[in-house]
Amino acid sequence: MSKIAEEKVIKYLEENKLDGLFISNHTNVKYVSSYTGDDSFLFITKSNKYFITDPRYTEQVGYECPSYEIVEWRKDYGSVPAVVAGIAKKDDLKNIAFESEDLKTSDYFTLKEKSVGLELVPIAGVIEEFRSHKTEQEIEYLRASCDIASRCYEKIIKDIRVGVTEKELAANLSRYMVLEGSDSMPYGNILISGARTSLLHGIPSAKAVEYGDFVLMDYGCQFNGYMSDMTRTLVVGKASPKQKEVYEIEYKMNCDAENALKIGASSKDVFQASKKAVEGTEYEKYIYTGIGHGVGLFVHEIPFLGPTHEYIIHENTVMTVEPGIYIPKWGGVRIEDQLLVTSNGTENLTWATKELIEL
């Protein structure tokens, strides 16, 4: 990835007559350099590539990013923006771009103060757009990440029973993903039950699972940094008629949206398709409009699906489709798959069953 990503950055600099790009967004740092650590920055100029970090990471950067010149910001400059200003002066740069949606305001002011005469050009969404075109290797990692998450659905189901708490189940789920091959730390999982399932991003609690509860699991892991994100909802015991009805509508919403996801479709098209099954029912008022997002080195990235987004879906993007129905104080159902958009439709990377399971 990094080679392709770097080439795209260099080409962007040339095309836009920029002398350099200061990359502060952590996911963009990872994407461009293949670095796996934290707290680091890139400064790519027309003649050099600087990796700005501190002694906690210098050895690791030497292994992971050997083509970069490492700059320890504490040692010679005192702050990260001071490094950028100093290098710009040393290398005689006239203008540099920075990530305006990411750079801290205080860092921006420091950079401005220390780089008199240097033009600072705000850019946004540029590397994010590069990231939405997945390479073969990225797709392979995303597929592996989804495989792990799907395998763990089969495992966690066996642990779900009356009396076990949401936290216990969430801990088991994380453990299973590590044992199945995910990177060491899966990100925070949503595992909630009963009426709490209407909380879109509820946090696992000490509540014990009860007979008749929905259990909603929205989770995923990383494989070589690449993320999976899936949701399944099941019923502990026999589903009530209302649970069945809501599940069926939601299931249809999920399938309709996935069928609408294809090259050339807009975010709005997919959203409209997702609504068809719920329109005119009493549950229409309980949907949420954010129904999907790209996934890669970060869990929520472009393109986003919803009525206010302008994205057009293209080939080799990997994204989730996750409409849901959330009824306050009663419960919610969400089914989320992660799909690869291909030249002949989509491939669902989340192969865990989405038929209603009654445990």
Binding residues for Mn ion (CB under 5 A): 229, 320
Q: What do you get for the CA distance between the two ends of the chain, in Å? A: 43
Alpha-carbon gap, residue 205 to 9, rounded angstroms: 44
- 3-state percent helix, strand, coil for the chain, nearest multiple of 5: 35, 25, 40
Alpha-carbon gap, residue 237 to 139, rounded angstroms: 37
State the minimum distance, in angstroms, from the CB of residue 254 to Mn ion.
12
State the minimum distance, in angstroms, from the CB of residue 218 to Mn ion.
7
Nearer to Mn ion, 45 or 350 (CB): 350
Place of tokens 């290098």: 87
Nearer to Mn ion, 138 or 336 (CB): 336
State the minimum distance, in angstroms, from the CB of residue 150 to Mn ion.
15
Nearer to Mn ion, 40 or 320 (CB): 320
For 34, counting Cβ atoms within 10 Å of its Cβ (0-12 exposed, 13-18 middle, 19+ buried), the class is: middle
State the minimum distance, in angstroms, from the CB of residue 231 to Mn ion.
7
Other Cβ atoms less than 10 A from the Cβ of 92: the count is: 8
Alpha-carbon gap, residue 155 to 161, rounded angstroms: 13
Find the angle CA(217)-CA(236)-CA(348) to the nearest 5 degrees: 40
State the minimum distance, in angstroms, from the CB of residue 247 to Mn ion.
19
**Beta carbons of 357 and 234 less than 8 angstroms apart:** yes
State the minimum distance, in angstroms, from the CB of residue 215 to Mn ion.
17
Nearer to Mn ion, 229 or 258 (CB): 229
Nearer to Mn ion, 317 or 320 (CB): 320
Residues 6+ apart with CB under 8 A from 97: 13, 16, 18, 20, 21, 22, 120, 121, 122, 123
Closest-approach residue to Mn ion (CB):
229
Nearer to Mn ion, 86 or 306 (CB): 306
State the minimum distance, in angstroms, from the CB of residue 289 to Mn ion.
14
Polymer length in residues for the chain: 359
State the DSSP H helix or E strand holding residue 63, giving kind and residue range, or none if neither: helix 58-64
Nearer to Mn ion, 6 or 229 (CB): 229
Alpha-carbon gap, residue 106 to 335, rounded angstroms: 41
Nearer to Mn ion, 82 or 273 (CB): 273
State the minimum distance, in angstroms, from the CB of residue 200 to Mn ion.
10
